[in-house]
Amino acid sequence: MSPKIRVAVAGASGVTGSSVVNALLATRERFEVTALVRPLSLGKQVFVEYAQRGVVVKAVELDGPAGAVAQILAGVDVVISCMTLLQMKEEMTLVTAAHEAGVSRYVPSFFGPVCPPRGVMLAREMKENILDHVKSLYLPYTIIDVGWWYQLSLPPLRSGKVRVKEEYSTTQIVGDGTNPWALVDNRDIGKYLARIIVDPETLNKQVFCYSEVWTQDDVYESWGVVTGESINRNPISKEEILQIISEGEADMAHGDLGSAAMLKLGMAQYKYLLGIRGDDTPEHAKYLGYLDAKELYPDIVASSFKNYMNDLFTGCIKAPYT
């Protein structure tokens, strides 16, 4: 039997990180999984459960010197970041440390919709800055983008039976609602990633792994059918989004670099990208040079959005961040 591939995950307790850890543990004969945890979070129940399931939990201060992090990464084959852009500095340190430790593949925290590298949205540009750092070190990498989560695509119900984290979600019909965009069940991300990180064809490449393509019109109609409720379309126009984007850019230009300002600008730019520009499609992914995970791994069955709607409505699962 070939030796296990040693994978270290930063951000393992988060939504994307949990999807990744669960998928790696599902083929535990293949992977040895280490969670890189900031000391502050070591006591969290999720890490106790991970340890019980065979994850090696290691305390790491990513805010510290890269040399110390590199020592912790000694012997690791693949490093995956599932942190957010609020941990940009920590991720830059992780990249440097992964290089120093000689890891054979680094997966930065992209996991977003399809988007050209520069000139469309700030969050993407910040992620590209991380990739620039990766490339400046000739660190082997794979970019994984996934489309927009099912979990952030449904509006709340008037009855109150389903609540969602609205500030992170596309709970308004953007423009006329007819733009198709690629969506993913975030629980599927790990399934794809577990295949991608052992595939030599994906080294130093971008891979797009989405589940289904929907328009918001169709999403809202199906959500109405599943729930039997009339759904609030709460539309937002192109002009309104552009106004929010210019306010957000002005706030940031005046030095407001806090998470609230970033969220306001970021969500408006996501809505513009998804519903107005229409970047997030498999066709645009091909144009931008992504490999398509559906073609690479046709045996992987993506979860359907209709099933997700049913499971959410019947209470089998909860909306994320709630």
| Cα 219 to Cα 215: distance, rounded to the nearest angstrom | 6
Residues 150-169 interacting with ligand NAP (rule: CB under 6 A): 152
149 part of the interface to ligand NAP, by CB under 6 A: yes
271 classed as catalytic: no
Which one is catalytic: 4, 127, 264, 294? 127
83 sits near ligand NAP (criterion: CB under 6 A): yes
Q: How far is the CB of 128 from ligand NAP (least distance, A)?
A: 12
Closest CA to 114 of 231, 227, 210, 29: 210
Nearest approach, Cβ of residue 14 and ligand NAP (Å): 2
3-class secondary structure for 244-270? HHHHHHHHHHCCCCCHHHHHHHHHHHH
**Residue 248 binding ligand NAP, by CB under 6 A:** no
The contact pattern for ligand NAP, residues 93-132, with x = CB under 6 A and - = no contact, is: ----------------x-xxx-------------------
Nearest-angstrom CA–CA distance, 209 and 302: 9
Site stretch for ligand NAP (CB under 6 A), options 21-29, 76-84, 96-104, 249-257: 76-84
Site membership for ligand NAP, residue 172 (CB under 6 A): no
In the block, residue with structure tokens 């891979």: 207
C-alpha–C-alpha distance, residues 38 and 55, integer Å: 15
Shortest Å, Cβ 53 to ligand NAP? 16
Cβ distance 114 to 287 under 8 Å? Answer: no
Q: Considering the complex, what minimum distance in angstroms separates the CB of residue 40 from ligand NAP?
A: 6
Report the C-alpha gap between 2 and 86 in whole angstroms. 38
CA distance 92 to 129: 9
Contact positions with ligand NAP (CB under 6 A) in 22-61: 38, 41, 44
Give the CB-nearest residue to ligand NAP: 14
Q: Is 275 in the site for ligand NAP (CB under 6 A)?
A: no
Least separation in angstroms between CB 18 and ligand NAP: 8
Site size with ligand NAP, rule: CB under 6 A = 25
Q: Which of 149, 130, 178 is nearest to 16 (CA)?
A: 149
Judged by beta carbon, residue 1 or residue 257, the one nearer ligand NAP is 257
Residue 144 is a binding residue for ligand NAP (CB under 6 A): no
- Range list of β-strands (E), the chain: 5-10, 31-37, 56-59, 78-81, 105-107, 142-145, 148-149, 180-184, 205-208, 212-215, 291-292
C-alpha angle with apex 20: 261 to 179, nearest 5 degrees? 55
The two three-digit tokens of residue 293, written as one number: 């995970």
Q: Which residues are catalytic?
A: 127
Residues contributing to the site for ligand NAP (CB under 6 A): 10-17, 38, 41, 44, 62, 82-84, 87, 90, 109, 111-113, 146, 148-149, 152
